[in-house]
Structure 1
Amino acid sequence: MIEAPETILVRTHRIACDGSGEGVPAALGHPRVWLEIDESGLVECGYCDRRFVLVGGPADNGSTNKG
């Protein structure tokens, strides 16, 4: 498995991603998409490949917290 470019820990099952952050303004990101974390405890954005991991969920292994 290829490592996701960025892992962001979140506290809700439903999140939005627009590719902004880390010095990238929303205008240079991608269209805002809503993502739903399932029973695996994570979801990846289809545009930018960011991985969103639910805090305390099955995929939370103490990875870097960026969000």
Structure 2
Amino acid sequence: MIKPPETASVTTTRVSCDGARDIPGGAALGHPRVWLEIDEHGYVDCGYCDKRFVLKGGPADGADLSAAPDIAAGSSNTPHP
């Protein structure tokens, strides 16, 4: 059985992902850092590693997202201001 992608609860609508935050060795084992924007759905998925970021208190917080579609729109590899 395939392990489901990781889910993280966040407090901001703009998040970054490099796929290696919890991996010893860091970014060399992950993917390029991307910035993602959580929209009105209340969550966003990384287009590289499928990690899902859910906004605390948002419409997806506490919801069963197992069948929810991937939302990777708004991703950018532009540095965060």
Between the aligned partners of 1:4 and 1:50, the Cα distance in structure 2 is 9
The amino acid that maps onto 2:42 is G
Equivalences, count:
61
| Higher normalized strand content (fraction of residues) | 1
Between the aligned partners of 2:63 and 2:39, the Cα distance in structure 1 is 19
4+ long deviations beyond 2 Å: 21-24
Matched, 1:13 2:35: no
TM-score between both structures, scaled by the size of structure 2:
0.68
Between the aligned partners of 2:27 and 2:44, the Cα distance in structure 1 is 20
Q: Deviations over 1:9-40 (max 9, x none)?
A: 00000000000133352110000000000000
Native 8 Å contact 1:18 1:30 kept in 2: yes
Q: Which has the larger radius of gyration?
A: 2
2:23 paired residue number: 23
Native 8 Å contact 1:4 1:51 kept in 2: no
Between the aligned partners of 2:41 and 2:12, the Cα distance in structure 1 is 14
Gap runs ≥5 in structure 1: none
TM-score between both structures, scaled by the size of structure 1:
0.81
Percent of aligned pairs sharing the same letter: 64
Give the RMSD, CA atoms, in angstroms: 2.0
Gap runs ≥5 in structure 2: 65-81
